[in-house]
Chain A
């Protein structure tokens, strides 16, 4: 665990000057890591990274190769591609979450990072929501109503669920339609249902 509680942003770009700009803009709010090429970026990508800002055009390992490598990992990080032109394809079908166009400006970059963090927060709340829903359903199937009423474990889980449900409702009001599409789990990528 890091003692630094700030969200971690990893910036991958072959131009040092661009990396310095991102650092200047983001270092107040976030813990910023930088990498000047794709393979170095992947080395610096661990489970603590919340957001990746990725230059699509780099010598050596291309941005698309990096995207594929990130998608193959289990991590929950959100990825924004930094590009000189508006992508002319359907964003939701690509293995990244959003994009930032050059020329870069600070408010736009900060907004993108914040939106991606909001989505990540939403996704993790939904996962927790499911885990608790499943636990409650299991307890409900094992115990009578009278037993549930006196079960501390059940009551505690029910309270946590109610609290989580309220947080999720609150968090989701900040999502726009694009965020909603991105938060829909990609079943096609999960060939094996991962139920333990």
Chain B
């Protein structure tokens, strides 16, 4: 089994929530709490020497990249290198410097191109000797508006298996206001567990379910 010292500490603030390498979670939240949560976790990954790979279908790569750099505590220059973004939203990239952008996929329908970009990103991590990668997907809700549920499920299942093989951490955002309970209950089975994010208090809190050895209590996430 996974060496606990390799675990991914989910976010910066205590208490530590350690997830085994290769874990993928469905992050259910009202917008925009899910992305905030994922961005803060990816930023924590950058701060602790790892890389971040983002698939964005919601906002342009530039916006996501700026948010990530702002959320990381390392200087913006140092934070740029570890960020890779697969942009599949339909507008422009919104970046002057496209060094972060791995591939511009023209539509979230194009899952094959997304898969190729995913593979290329990990090929590149290998070449660079990067073995700590947090992957964020923003968001499944947008992809579900383009692609039917079964296809999205198979897409998620295959990405989560890929992330497990890579020993990465995967966080997939789903806007829980936008789908019925049955859709969420179906989709969550493509993942190792679920992270429910609650933004009703002053700070975000999260509850992880479905993972052995990980607390299922509500935990506060401080910025």
Q: Given A90, A130, A180, A185, which contacts B162 in the complex, CB threshold below 8 Å?
A: A180
Is A134 an interface residue, CB under 8 A from the partner?
yes
A184 touching B112 by the CB < 8 A rule?
A: yes
Cα A168 to Cα B154 with chains together (Å): 12
Q: Among A5-13, A27-35, A110-118, A169-177, which stretch is in contact with chain B?
A: A169-177
Interface residues of B in 67-110 (CB under 8 A from A): 109-110
Contacts of A126 in B (CB 8 A): 154, 157-158
Interface centre among A161, A188, A190, by most chain B C-beta atoms within 10 angstroms, is A188
Give residues 128-170 of A contacting B (CB, 8 Å): 129-130, 132-134, 136-138, 140-141, 161, 168-169
Query: Does B146 count as interface, using CB distance less than 8 angstroms?
Result: yes
User: Per-residue CB proximity of B113-148 to A under 8 Å, as 1/0?
Assistant: 011101100110000000000000000000000111
**Are A133's CB and B114's CB within 8 A?**
no
Asked whether, in the complex, the Cβ of A185 is within 8 Å of the Cβ of B149, the reply is no
From B112, B164, B165, B181, contact of A181 by CB (8 A): B112
CB A111 to nearest CB in B, in angstroms, measures 19
Residue among A134, A136, A168 making CB contact with B161, cutoff 8 Å: A168
Chain B CB within 8 A of A74 CB: no
Establish whether residues B116 and A172, one from each chain, have CB atoms under 8 Å apart when the complex forms. Answer: no
Q: Secondary structure at chain A's binding surface: helix, strand, loop or mixed?
A: helix
* Residues 143-188 of B at the A interface (beta carbon under 8 Å): 146-151, 153-155, 157-159, 161-162, 164-165, 181-183, 185-187
| Pair A127/B154 contact, Cβ less than 8 Å | yes
Q: How many residues of A contact B (CB 8 A)?
A: 35
Partner pick for A92 among B116, B146, B155, CB 8 A cutoff = B116
In the bound assembly, the distance between CA atoms of A190 and B110 in angstroms comes to: 11
B182–A180 CB distance below 8 A: no
A-B pairs with beta carbons under 8 Å apart, 18 shown: A126-B154, A133-B189, A137-B182, A169-B161, A172-B161, A175-B161, A177-B123, A180-B119, A181-B116, A183-B158, A184-B115, A184-B158, A185-B158, A186-B111, A187-B155, A188-B111, A193-B149, A193-B151
Residues of B within 8 A of A (CB): 109-112, 114-116, 118-119, 122-123, 146-151, 153-155, 157-159, 161-162, 164-165, 181-183, 185-187, 189-190
Show the binding face of A for B, using Cβ within 8 Å.
90, 92-93, 126-127, 129-130, 132-134, 136-138, 140-141, 161, 168-169, 172-173, 175, 177-178, 180-181, 183-188, 190, 193-195
